Chains A and B, each alone.
Chain A
Amino acid sequence: MLSAQRLDDNPCQPRHFKPPPCAPVVADGVAAEHLDATRTRLLLAIAMFAAIFLVVAGRLVEVVEIPGAAIEQRLARPRLVAPPLPVRADIVDRNGTLLATNLDSPSLYVNSKALLRAGEDPERVAKAITIALPDLSPTELRTKLSSGRSFAYLKRSLTPRQEYAVNSLGIPGIEFSPEERRVYPLGDLAAHAVGYCGIDNIGEAGIERGLNPTIKGAGEPVALALDARVQFVLKDELQRVVTQFTARGAAGIIMNAHTGEIVALASLPDFDPNHPPTTDPKHSSTEDKDRIFNKITSGDYEMGSVFKIFNTAMALDSGVATMTKSYDARNPIKIGRFTIEDYHGKHRWLTVPEIFMYSSNIGSARMAVDAGAQRQRDFLGRLGILRPVPIEFDKVDVAKPHFPAVWREVNVMTIAYGHGIAVTPLHLITGVAAIVNGGILHKPTMLKVKPGTHLPGERVISAKTSDQMRKLMRLVVEYGTAKFAAAPGYVVGGKTGTAEKNSGGHYQEKKLLSSFIGAFPMNDPKYVILTMVDEPHGNKQSHGYATAGWTVAPATSRIIERIAPLLGVAPVDENSPEIKRALQIESLAGKRIEDY
């Protein structure tokens, strides 16, 4: 090979060295095989890498380009600030007015060690703080500031304004501990409906207790059916009745006849849920117990003559009685040790409308006996009178009705006019709402029903009976015991009841429970209202009477006049032919109706 090279240059610097041309290596046999195999492997490797990169690229496209893919939820976004969920959700009324809310109310404390270490003068600091919080005593402050301990409360529950004032002083060692408080901005307005909360943020009455889990879990405010304005009117007028008749208490409830929504619920005396009375049975006084007691759901009362609504509806609906049928009400009924008498007896045969209008106990008892125990019991059962009312309150706050286990004839008679059976006012209004609204029973509810929602309900009486009952209730206000309940333009109808309270097994003539249950406008009831007063005393204005017609009926009239515009019920001309026709009782047409 070397001999073939031309050495015409410096051999040490083979600048012009060129390798001799040689033929390309043609692989033969084994080598060709090896080469092929290598190429295939190379191709495989390339394909593999390409595939991997394709996957990576695809994934990138998926993550970046496709919005809302499952991947997006997995992306960590820890840096975003989110509003903190409240410990308890707000409670608002049907118009969004706050009834209960949580407010930050940090407590102020001093870390005296840090304060002193920072070289602050306790004297000066105390002065600065008393300027921001004038209600603190400077001497007490000074001792706390210079104590050297690392924790001492200076003040609990600061307002945002106070917090700002103290914060802007910028004193080291003066610190806040975050705290939340349940606050009821409207105070005692809806105390019994809303209830209250203990210090540990657990509901202890009313809706706060009944819906405790919901309120704790929900971030959204809980909207009640309550209307704060209507509630105020109800409470205001009931309070007036209590003062006027020096009564022990009063209660009232207003319900939407077609949805069962409770628009107002008041029980007097009441309390301020911002600082409820002690419930400890050992320590709370009778007065405190009275205030915390919700008469509407927890009280069991023998409601008296208002029960004649149920009795008459039962008799009419079952076909036992008709509007023209008469019953003998000439003489009191003696049964066992009882004597059933009329308060203002007419001492003659009375037709069904007359029995209802004059509130005849004798006539009602005879009507009930006519229908029989089984029918009466079934009817009350159908109306839900014989079991606790299903409502969004805790079981503890809802009383069980009391009725005889064995339904004897004497029970049939007394239950006809509302004695010998004790129910809550809520039972009564729920039943009456079903009777006047066309015969459909709705569950009462504290929660707002979305407008326009169709509620199925359960038919308890026929539409015809409901129509007759509306006429009868209108009659009571026009000619009967509840004339003072009339609110011109709103076509009020209803029934009064004055029951003697039963204590220790006998009735007490002087301790009355006067109640009125009504609906308006009676030709097409929108709202049902129940007002009752506990142990009223007659006065000069009422000519010494403490009966429902003189106590709660006038109050109901005032309430309806005040709330109807708020509830969107327009007044009508009560003497217009349509209204007259709608509420005319055929059997009484053209007859002179004897006033009560």
Chain B
Amino acid sequence: MKRLSGLFWIVVVLVAGATNFFVKHTVQRLDDELNSARRKTVAAQKQIHDLTAEWTYLNQPELLSDLNRRYLGLAPMSPKQIQRSVDEIPLRPVAPPPAIEIPIEPETVAASVPAPAAPVPAAPSPAMPAAAPSPIVPPVATTIARATPAPTSTPSASPIVPVAATIVARVAPATAPVASPAAPVAATRAAPVATPIVPVATAPVARSPAPPAPVTPARAPSLDALFAEVAAGR
């Protein structure tokens, strides 16, 4: 009995010691990790701070207005252009899931065509030749690009059309692959699920922005220039 209890205590001490060692070790490791994360955070914060200063410097209203004068020629908004305040615009009568606006890129989208007023029935109408989904888009997220509107469609601009049904399917002849005969299957599957995923799906396909015109600002646009300005005052 005595020897047994002795053994018991020895085991307890060993286990406690080992646990203590491992816990301590883990804590130390975590501490180091935390520290290095903090160091990185501080470094990143400093960098963000510097970049914010640079960004602000580059966004000096004076500089922007000068650039605008030379390259864009935008004029301040006149009261005539603001007809109504936002709250005066009536809301759509039906507002089911969140409305999704898809920015239309004029370069790539040849025609934007409204979808049918009612959700597409299980069997696709044969009148709809559908383009195959872009290869980048996973099959679940398929958006059907329609060449022509379904016969039953009403224009999506009409406020009575439920939002879910107004998802604009579009033809992107420049980037989307040519329509394939397998499309009707995709169409059936896609119709019910397309709603929330559309922007994700179309984004990679539709984007091919024209490169912005090269801009040569009056001043060297960088923090170095700011510092040069500052240093000049010494």
Contact = CB atoms under 8 A, between A and B. Distances in A.
B62 A157 contact: no
Interface in A497-554: none
Given A103-B53, A157-B231, A161-B223, A561 B79 contact: yes
Interface string A52-93: 000000000000000000000000000111111000000000
B79 A80 contact: no
B62 A487 contact: no
A138 interface: no
Interface string B197-229: 000000000000000000000000011101101
B158 interface: no
B82 A159 contact: no
Nearest to B79: A489
A185 B60 contact: yes
Nearest to A158: B227
B49 interface: yes
B4 interface: no
Interface residues of B, number: 39
Interface string A187-199: 1010000000000
Contact of B53 (A185, A564, A570): A185
Contacts, number: 108
Nearest to A77: B31
Of B60, B79, B223, the most chain A CB neighbours within 10 A belong to: B79
Of A159, A161, A181, A272, the most chain B CB neighbours within 10 A belong to: A159
A83 B231 contact: no
Interface residues of A, number: 43
Contacts of A81: 35, 38-39, 42
B233 interface: yes
B208 to A, nearest CB: 33
Contact of A571 (B34, B79, B223): B79
A186 B58 CA distance: 9
A229 interface: yes
A98 B56 contact: yes
Contacts of B232: 275
Contacts of B57: 185-186
Contacts of B42: 81-84
A413 interface: no
A566 to B, nearest CB: 9
B223 A80 contact: no
B14 to A, nearest CB: 19
A322 interface: no
B233 A276 contact: yes
A98 B56 CA distance: 6
Contact of B230 (A183, A228, A236, A562): A183
Interface in A78-117: 79-84, 97-98, 101, 103-105
Interface of B: 31, 34-35, 38-39, 41-42, 45-46, 49-50, 52-54, 56-57, 59-62, 65, 76-80, 82, 85, 222-224, 226-227, 229-234
11 contacts: A83-B45, A97-B59, A103-B49, A105-B230, A159-B222, A186-B56, A186-B61, A272-B229, A489-B80, A562-B76, A570-B82
Given A97-B56, A103-B50, A186-B61, 19 more contacts: A79-B35, A83-B42, A98-B53, A101-B52, A103-B223, A105-B227, A157-B227, A159-B222, A160-B50, A183-B53, A185-B54, A185-B60, A187-B62, A189-B62, A232-B61, A232-B65, A272-B229, A489-B82, A564-B79
